[in-house]
Amino acid sequence: MIKKLLGTIALSLTCAIAFAAEGGYKLEHAPNRINDMASLQNGAKLFVNYCLGCHSANSMRYNKLTEIGLTDDQIKKNLLFTSDKVGDLMHIAMTPEDAKKWFGAAPPDLSVIARAKSTTMGPSGVDYVYTFLRTFYRDTSKATGWNNLVFPSVGMPNALWQLQGERSLERTTIHSAAQADGSSQWERTVAKYDGQGYSEIKKEVLKDYDGSPVDKAILTPADPRLQATFDNNVADLSNFLGWMAEPMQLQRKEMGVWVLLFLALFLLVAWRLNATYWKHVK
């Protein structure tokens, strides 16, 4: 009876998970390099050079980087720009008030950003950062001259543009749009942004379209080789942000294996002890 019950419950739970898909730009899966020290170190270097100018990481201490294989000397020589002690936290000089004045919004602290941007039962925050940093395109209609596919009208310009090189975007969406007469009809929009951010937008009404909404974006780099290097760098940077959000995660998983092995042994002993006691109970 109870087994049957549990079966029904398990079934209803799987349905619940299938339901949980969400909208928005589809995030790409970031390569998993969490155990790759070289990647984490490259990510740390990029982070300190390109992100730490505007974003703080107030919960992160510079010498925590020794856990990804850097020495205090290396940190001091190569990564200390905003302070002079390796024991310092990654604070920045810009105050949130100034930031708000200059950019319209204070750049968020990045200590735990990779956890904050995760989706329940969905893509991780590392996937978010990886996709976000690779989907900037030039758009002259925005104040910074930049726009983003993951975060439309984001206040942040593409800080990594020199590493990325020039790119153009062709974005096709099919969505239902309100018409002049008040009805709504399927409409196809093709927006082309060239490398300088000048756009050309074409709209057409689709009659008898009964499919699902479409959102397809094709980013074309002027130099594919540069783009490949860039993708690799962004993968390292996202990887580092993922590590920084929870620096003890590597030890945690390693320790977990031993804890579970111990508990399995404990279960075995408890089970046999129980069986011995109950052997004579009739």
Partner 1 sequence: MAGEKTVDTTGLLGWIDKRFPLTSMVKEHMSEYYAPKNFNFWYFFGSLAMLVLVIQIVTGIFLVMNYKPDAKLAFESVEYIMREVPWGWLIRYMHSTGASMFFVVVYLHMLRGLFYGSYRKPRELVWIFGVAIFLSLMGEAFFGYLLPWGQMSYWGAQVIVNLFSAIPFIGPELAIWIRGDYVVSDATLNRFFAFHVIAIPLVLIGLVVAHIIALHEVGSNNPDGVEIKQGPKDRYGRPMDGIPFHPYYSVHDLVGVAGFLIVFAAIIFFGPEMGGYFLEYNNFIPADPLKTPPHIAPVWYFTPFYSMLRATTADFTWVLAGAAVLAAIVLFIKGNLKGVWRIAVPVILLLVAVLLRTIDAKFWGVVAMGGAVVILFFLPWLDHSPVKSIRYRPTWHKYLYAIFIVNFLVLGYLGTQAPNPTFNLMSQIGTVIYLAFFLVMPVWSRIGTFKQVPDRVTFHAH
Pick from 26, 76, 91, 115 the residue near partner 1 by CB under 8 A: 115
Sole window of 76-84, 141-149, 189-197, 250-258 interacting with partner 1 (rule: CB under 8 A)? 250-258
> With binding defined as CB under 8 A, does residue 55 bind partner 1?
no
Pick from 1, 18, 21, 180 the residue near partner 1 by CB under 8 A: 1
> With binding defined as CB under 8 A, does residue 32 bind partner 1?
no
Contacts of 245 (CB under 8 A, 6+ apart): 111, 112, 113, 114, 115, 116, 125
Residues 122-151 vs partner 1: string with x where CB under 8 A? x--x--------------------------
Whole-number minimum distance, CB 259 to partner 1, in Å?
A: 5
> With binding defined as CB under 8 A, does residue 121 bind partner 1?
yes
Whole-number minimum distance, CB 3 to partner 1, in Å?
A: 11
> With binding defined as CB under 8 A, does residue 5 bind partner 1?
yes
Sole window of 153-161, 171-179, 216-224, 245-253 interacting with partner 1 (rule: CB under 8 A)? 245-253
| Cβ neighbours around 150 below 10 Å, total | 20
Which residues within the stretch 78-107 sit at the binding site for partner 1 (CB under 8 A)? none
> With binding defined as CB under 8 A, does residue 248 bind partner 1?
yes
Whole-number minimum distance, CB 171 to partner 1, in Å?
A: 23
> With binding defined as CB under 8 A, does residue 21 bind partner 1?
no
Contacts of 113 (CB under 8 A, 6+ apart): 125, 129, 241, 245
By the criterion CB under 8 A, which residues form the site for partner 1? 1-2, 4-5, 8-9, 12-13, 16, 19-20, 58-61, 64, 108-109, 111-113, 115-122, 125, 245-248, 252-253, 255-257, 259-260, 263-264, 266-267, 270-271, 273-275, 277-279, 281-282
